[in-house]
Amino acid sequence: MKAKIGVSWSLLHLINRNHPIDKMISLKKIRKAYRTDFTTLEVLKGIDLEIASGEFVSIMGSSGSGKSTLLNVLGLLDDFDSGAYHLNGESMKNLSAKEGAHFRNRLIGFGFQSFNLLSFKTADENVALPLYYQRVDRNERQKKAREYLERVGLLDWADHLPTQLSGGQQQRVAIARALITQPKIILADEPTGALDSKTSDEVMGLFQDVNDEGITVVLVTHENDIAERTKRTILLKDGLIEGDQMHMSTAKLSINV
């Protein structure tokens, strides 16, 4: 039995005010356009959005509505034209390439539809990669990578190359890689887009576990049942937020009951 409770934006606002939750993400009037010599395509047309620490959010919307663009802005992979963006309390305006790299490395973990594992590195080496850019000692990296592989249930596959893993396994390796730096937030663009429903389910279970530990998770999806497993869905349309609703997850409910 599925019980869904929709909560309006204003109600959420009320909750926020009554129970001050740390703001992980705060966007104010974020605008972004892609310009060529002849045309300007407005993709984000003034996004106002707040995501509290520990939230589990999905972003939905039709193709071309700006979901990936928004996620890339959130992930500091792309810059924005105007507005204000605060991540973990710090302004992300006009970051240098180096500062951007630093914040990505320390605060953010990424998930991708096509996993983006390096084909010539084994699973544990892939997981260890972000620590390389933290100048962590190699043995320490290796140890940690195995720890995180164990968490996603793939310790036995540590020495395997990505091509020797299934899609679901690869995504779990990628999630282990995203987690290894102990980020504050995980951003994933259609992480289940390339997976069948059973594997999608497993991967979503993993995200749920991550979120249960208090890590903020924001993912983009096209699929309703994926969105329903998150706690809040933001609907984008034509570069603007058209809807924002809270769910009560079935899993939580069944535990509570």
Partner 1 sequence: MNRLPLFDRDTWQEIFGTIRKHKLRTGLTALGVFWGIFMLIFVLGMGEGLKNGVFRNFGDRAMNVLYVWPTATTVPFEGFRPGRYPRFTLDDVDFVHNNISDIESISPRRTLSERNVVVGDNTESTEIRGEYEDMIRLEALKVYEGRYINERDVADKRKVAVIGERTRELLFGDDTGIGQYVRIDGMPFQVVGSFGPVKIESWTEDDMEAIVIPLTTMQQVFGGGQRIDYFVCSAAPDVRVSLLENKVVKALKERHNIAPDDPRGVASDNLEEEFGSIQNLFGGITAFLWFVGIGTLMAGIVGVGNIMLIVVKERTREIGLRKAMGATPVSIISMILIESIFITSISGYLGLLCSTLLVGGLDAIMVAQGTNFENFHHPEVDLSVGIGALVLLVVAGAVAGLIPALQASRVNPVHALKDE
Ligand X SMILES: Nc1ncnc2c1ncn2[C@@H]1O[C@H](COP(=O)(O)OP(=O)(O)OP(=O)(O)O)[C@@H](O)[C@H]1O
| CA dist., res. 154 & res. 55, Å (int) | 26
Tracing tokens 């500091």 back to the chain, one arrives at: 76
Residues 6+ apart with CB under 8 A from 229: 204, 208, 249, 251
Q: Give min distance, CB of 10 to partner 1, in A.
A: 34
**Minimum distance of partner 1 from residue 112's CB (angstroms):** 6
Of the residues 68, 170, 192, 230, which one makes contact with ligand X according to CB under 6 A: 68
Q: Is 66 in the site for ligand X (CB under 6 A)?
A: yes
User: SS3 for 98-153, per residue?
Assistant: HHHHHHHHHHEEEECCCCCCCCCCCHHHHHHHHHHCCCCCHHHHHHHHHHHHHHCC
The interface region with Mg ion, picked from 61-69, 86-94, 108-116, 119-127 by CB under 5 A, is: 61-69
182 binds partner 1 (CB under 8 A): no
With contact defined as beta carbons under 8 Å apart, do 40 and 33 qualify?
Answer: yes
Residue from 82, 91, 134, 182 that binds partner 1 (CB under 8 A)? 134
- Binders of partner 1: how many residues, by CB under 8 A? 32
> Which of 69, 88, 126, 230 touches ligand X by CB under 6 A?
69
Which range in 20-28, 57-65, 89-97, 131-139 contacts ligand X by CB under 6 A? Answer: 57-65
> Is residue 205 helix, strand or coil?
helix
Our finding on whether 68 is near Mg ion (CB under 5 A) is yes
Question: Which is closer to ligand X, CB of 59 or CB of 152?
Answer: 59
Q: Would you count residue 116 as binding partner 1 (CB under 8 A)?
A: yes
Q: Is 198 in the site for partner 1 (CB under 8 A)?
A: no
**CA gap 178, 196 in Å, rounded:** 21
Report the partner that residue 251 touches, choosing among Mg ion, partner 1, ligand X, none (CB closer than 5 to 8 A by kind): none
Kindly state the smallest distance separating residue 68's Cβ from Mg ion, in Å: 3
The whole-angstrom separation of Cα 181 and Cα 98 is: 18
Separation between Cα atoms, residue 146 and residue 167, nearest integer Å:
19
DSSP H/E element including 48: strand 40-52
Catalog residues that contact partner 1 under the rule CB under 8 A.
Answer: 72, 75, 77-78, 97-98, 101-102, 104-106, 110, 112-114, 116, 118, 120-121, 125, 129-130, 132-135, 138, 177, 181, 189-190, 193
